Structure 1
Amino acid sequence: MADDDMLRNLALALEGTSEAPHFDRAAFKVRRIYVTLAADGLTVNFKFTPDEQQIKCEMLPNAFSPVPNAWGRQGWTTAILSELEEPDLRDALETAWRHALPGKRRA
Protein backbone atom coordinates (compact mmCIF):
# COMPACT_ATOMS: atom_id res chain seq x y z
CA MET A 1 0.00 0.00 0.00
CA ALA A 2 1.37 3.40 -1.01
CA ASP A 3 1.40 6.48 1.20
CA ASP A 4 2.51 10.10 1.05
CA ASP A 5 6.07 9.30 2.20
CA MET A 6 6.46 6.72 -0.56
CA LEU A 7 5.12 9.18 -3.13
CA ARG A 8 7.48 11.91 -1.98
CA ASN A 9 10.53 9.60 -2.01
CA LEU A 10 9.75 8.16 -5.44
CA ALA A 11 8.95 11.56 -6.98
CA LEU A 12 12.04 13.29 -5.61
CA ALA A 13 14.20 10.43 -6.93
CA LEU A 14 13.12 11.27 -10.50
CA GLU A 15 15.70 13.43 -12.24
CA GLY A 16 15.12 17.17 -11.94
CA THR A 17 12.10 16.93 -9.64
CA SER A 18 11.55 19.53 -6.96
CA GLU A 19 8.77 19.99 -4.43
CA ALA A 20 6.98 23.27 -3.80
CA PRO A 21 3.69 24.44 -2.30
CA HIS A 22 0.80 24.74 -4.75
CA PHE A 23 -2.31 26.24 -3.14
CA ASP A 24 -3.27 23.71 -0.42
CA ARG A 25 -1.23 20.91 -2.01
CA ALA A 26 2.41 19.93 -2.47
CA ALA A 27 3.46 20.03 -6.13
CA PHE A 28 6.20 17.98 -7.74
CA LYS A 29 7.60 19.43 -10.93
CA VAL A 30 10.44 19.47 -13.39
CA ARG A 31 9.67 22.06 -16.04
CA ARG A 32 5.99 21.95 -15.07
CA ILE A 33 3.90 20.30 -12.40
CA TYR A 34 3.24 16.63 -13.01
CA VAL A 35 1.74 15.51 -9.69
CA THR A 36 0.22 17.18 -6.64
CA LEU A 37 -0.30 15.70 -3.19
CA ALA A 38 -3.37 16.62 -1.12
CA ALA A 39 -2.75 18.30 2.24
CA ASP A 40 -4.16 15.24 4.05
CA GLY A 41 -1.68 12.98 2.21
CA LEU A 42 -4.41 10.59 1.06
CA THR A 43 -4.78 11.45 -2.62
CA VAL A 44 -2.66 12.70 -5.49
CA ASN A 45 -3.44 14.25 -8.87
CA PHE A 46 -1.36 13.08 -11.83
CA LYS A 47 -1.02 14.77 -15.23
CA PHE A 48 -1.62 12.08 -17.85
CA THR A 49 -2.76 12.30 -21.43
CA PRO A 50 -6.48 11.53 -21.81
CA ASP A 51 -5.57 8.12 -23.28
CA GLU A 52 -3.26 7.32 -20.35
CA GLN A 53 -5.99 8.45 -17.96
CA GLN A 54 -8.49 6.10 -19.55
CA ILE A 55 -6.11 3.15 -19.31
CA LYS A 56 -5.25 3.85 -15.66
CA CYS A 57 -8.92 4.23 -14.73
CA GLU A 58 -9.84 0.98 -16.51
CA MET A 59 -6.93 -1.01 -15.05
CA LEU A 60 -7.30 0.19 -11.44
CA PRO A 61 -10.80 1.69 -11.06
CA ASN A 62 -10.63 1.64 -7.24
CA ALA A 63 -7.48 3.76 -7.34
CA PHE A 64 -7.77 6.13 -10.32
CA SER A 65 -10.54 8.49 -11.45
CA PRO A 66 -10.60 11.61 -13.64
CA VAL A 67 -10.58 14.94 -11.82
CA PRO A 68 -14.26 15.96 -12.17
CA ASN A 69 -13.92 19.17 -14.21
CA ALA A 70 -12.14 20.64 -17.23
CA TRP A 71 -8.80 19.66 -15.68
CA GLY A 72 -9.96 16.04 -15.77
CA ARG A 73 -10.81 16.28 -19.46
CA GLN A 74 -7.19 17.40 -20.01
CA GLY A 75 -5.91 14.22 -18.35
CA TRP A 76 -5.57 15.22 -14.70
CA THR A 77 -6.36 12.10 -12.71
CA THR A 78 -6.90 11.57 -8.98
CA ALA A 79 -5.46 8.51 -7.26
CA ILE A 80 -6.15 7.19 -3.78
CA LEU A 81 -2.72 6.31 -2.44
CA SER A 82 -3.92 3.48 -0.20
CA GLU A 83 -5.32 1.71 -3.29
CA LEU A 84 -1.92 1.66 -5.04
CA GLU A 85 0.98 -0.73 -4.65
CA GLU A 86 4.51 0.63 -5.11
CA PRO A 87 4.90 -0.59 -8.74
CA ASP A 88 1.62 1.10 -9.75
CA LEU A 89 2.64 4.34 -8.02
CA ARG A 90 6.10 4.25 -9.57
CA ASP A 91 4.63 3.68 -13.05
CA ALA A 92 2.11 6.52 -12.64
CA LEU A 93 4.82 8.90 -11.43
CA GLU A 94 7.19 8.03 -14.26
CA THR A 95 4.41 8.40 -16.84
CA ALA A 96 3.44 11.85 -15.56
CA TRP A 97 7.11 12.89 -15.05
CA ARG A 98 7.94 12.22 -18.71
CA HIS A 99 5.36 14.84 -19.75
CA ALA A 100 7.05 17.43 -17.55
CA LEU A 101 10.52 16.95 -19.04
CA PRO A 102 11.92 19.52 -21.45
CA GLY A 103 12.61 18.63 -25.05
CA LYS A 104 12.94 15.21 -26.65
CA ARG A 105 13.01 13.19 -23.41
CA ARG A 106 9.22 13.49 -23.11
CA ALA A 107 8.55 10.51 -25.37
Structure 2
Amino acid sequence: MATAADVRKLAMSLEGTTEHPHFERTAFKVRRIYATLAADGKSVNLNLTPEEQEFKTMLAPEVFTPIPNKWGTSGWTTVDLKAIGKAELKTALEMAWEHGRAKKA
Protein backbone atom coordinates (compact mmCIF):
# COMPACT_ATOMS: atom_id res chain seq x y z
CA MET A 1 0.00 0.00 0.00
CA ALA A 2 1.33 3.40 -1.01
CA THR A 3 0.38 6.82 0.34
CA ALA A 4 0.20 10.39 -0.93
CA ALA A 5 3.44 11.04 0.96
CA ASP A 6 5.07 8.20 -1.00
CA VAL A 7 3.91 9.75 -4.29
CA ARG A 8 5.31 13.14 -3.31
CA LYS A 9 8.63 11.71 -2.09
CA LEU A 10 9.13 9.49 -5.15
CA ALA A 11 8.07 12.15 -7.66
CA MET A 12 10.27 14.83 -6.10
CA SER A 13 13.25 12.45 -6.21
CA LEU A 14 13.03 12.33 -10.01
CA GLU A 15 15.40 14.81 -11.65
CA GLY A 16 13.91 18.17 -12.55
CA THR A 17 10.51 17.56 -10.96
CA THR A 18 8.63 20.50 -9.52
CA GLU A 19 5.34 20.50 -7.62
CA HIS A 20 2.47 22.86 -8.46
CA PRO A 21 -1.24 23.27 -7.69
CA HIS A 22 -3.36 22.03 -10.60
CA PHE A 23 -7.06 22.71 -10.15
CA GLU A 24 -8.09 20.57 -7.13
CA ARG A 25 -5.00 18.35 -7.48
CA THR A 26 -1.24 18.61 -7.01
CA ALA A 27 0.75 18.32 -10.23
CA PHE A 28 4.26 16.97 -10.65
CA LYS A 29 6.02 18.38 -13.67
CA VAL A 30 9.42 18.11 -15.31
CA ARG A 31 8.97 19.62 -18.79
CA ARG A 32 5.26 18.79 -18.80
CA ILE A 33 2.93 17.44 -16.13
CA TYR A 34 3.38 13.71 -15.73
CA ALA A 35 1.38 13.02 -12.56
CA THR A 36 -1.41 14.61 -10.54
CA LEU A 37 -2.22 13.65 -6.97
CA ALA A 38 -5.85 13.78 -5.82
CA ALA A 39 -6.68 16.22 -3.03
CA ASP A 40 -7.88 13.33 -0.84
CA GLY A 41 -4.55 11.51 -1.35
CA LYS A 42 -6.23 8.27 -2.43
CA SER A 43 -5.14 8.21 -6.06
CA VAL A 44 -2.66 9.59 -8.55
CA ASN A 45 -3.16 10.09 -12.28
CA LEU A 46 -0.18 9.19 -14.46
CA ASN A 47 0.64 10.11 -18.04
CA LEU A 48 1.22 6.76 -19.75
CA THR A 49 1.04 5.86 -23.41
CA PRO A 50 -2.17 4.12 -24.50
CA GLU A 51 -0.15 0.90 -24.93
CA GLU A 52 1.35 1.15 -21.43
CA GLN A 53 -2.10 1.89 -20.04
CA GLU A 54 -3.61 -1.12 -21.79
CA PHE A 55 -0.88 -3.41 -20.45
CA LYS A 56 -1.10 -2.10 -16.87
CA THR A 57 -4.90 -2.21 -16.75
CA MET A 58 -4.90 -5.75 -18.14
CA LEU A 59 -2.36 -7.00 -15.59
CA ALA A 60 -3.67 -5.13 -12.53
CA PRO A 61 -7.21 -3.76 -13.06
CA GLU A 62 -7.60 -3.28 -9.31
CA VAL A 63 -4.67 -0.83 -9.38
CA PHE A 64 -4.78 0.88 -12.79
CA THR A 65 -7.85 2.29 -14.56
CA PRO A 66 -8.10 4.65 -17.53
CA ILE A 67 -9.45 8.09 -16.66
CA PRO A 68 -13.03 7.93 -17.97
CA ASN A 69 -12.78 10.82 -20.44
CA LYS A 70 -10.73 12.11 -23.38
CA TRP A 71 -7.61 12.23 -21.20
CA GLY A 72 -7.98 8.51 -20.54
CA THR A 73 -8.07 7.67 -24.23
CA SER A 74 -4.67 9.34 -24.61
CA GLY A 75 -3.15 7.22 -21.82
CA TRP A 76 -3.84 9.12 -18.59
CA THR A 77 -4.38 6.45 -15.97
CA THR A 78 -5.64 6.52 -12.38
CA VAL A 79 -3.68 4.54 -9.80
CA ASP A 80 -5.45 3.43 -6.60
CA LEU A 81 -2.81 4.03 -3.93
CA LYS A 82 -4.26 1.55 -1.44
CA ALA A 83 -3.86 -1.21 -4.05
CA ILE A 84 -0.25 -0.56 -5.16
CA GLY A 85 3.07 -1.26 -3.49
CA LYS A 86 5.81 1.35 -3.27
CA ALA A 87 8.13 -0.45 -5.71
CA GLU A 88 5.41 -0.74 -8.35
CA LEU A 89 4.43 2.91 -7.77
CA LYS A 90 8.06 3.97 -8.26
CA THR A 91 8.25 2.09 -11.57
CA ALA A 92 4.97 3.61 -12.82
CA LEU A 93 6.01 7.14 -11.76
CA GLU A 94 9.35 6.75 -13.52
CA MET A 95 7.53 5.67 -16.68
CA ALA A 96 5.28 8.74 -16.53
CA TRP A 97 8.26 10.98 -15.71
CA GLU A 98 10.00 9.83 -18.90
CA HIS A 99 6.95 11.03 -20.86
CA GLY A 100 6.90 14.31 -18.95
CA ARG A 101 10.50 15.11 -19.73
CA ALA A 102 10.33 14.18 -23.42
CA LYS A 103 10.01 16.97 -25.97
CA LYS A 104 6.70 17.08 -27.81
CA ALA A 105 6.93 15.61 -31.26
Same fold flag (TM > 0.5): yes
Q: 1:41-60 counterparts in 2 under 5 A?
A: 41-60=41-60
Which residue identity does 1:68 align to in structure 2?
P
Over 3 Å counting, the alpha-carbon distance change for 1:76 and 1:18 in structure 2 is same
- 2:32 aligns with 32
Shift of 1:87: 1.1
Q: What is the CA RMSD across the aligned residues, in angstroms?
A: 0.8
Identity over aligned pairs, percent = 52
1:100 maps to a residue whose letter is G
1:27-106 matches, cutoff 5 A: 27-103=27-103
SS of the residue aligned with 1:62? coil
Structure 2 counterpart of 1:93, which letter? L
**TM-score (normalizing by structure 1):** 0.94
* Count, aligned residues: 103
Dislocated runs of 4+, deviation >3 Å: none
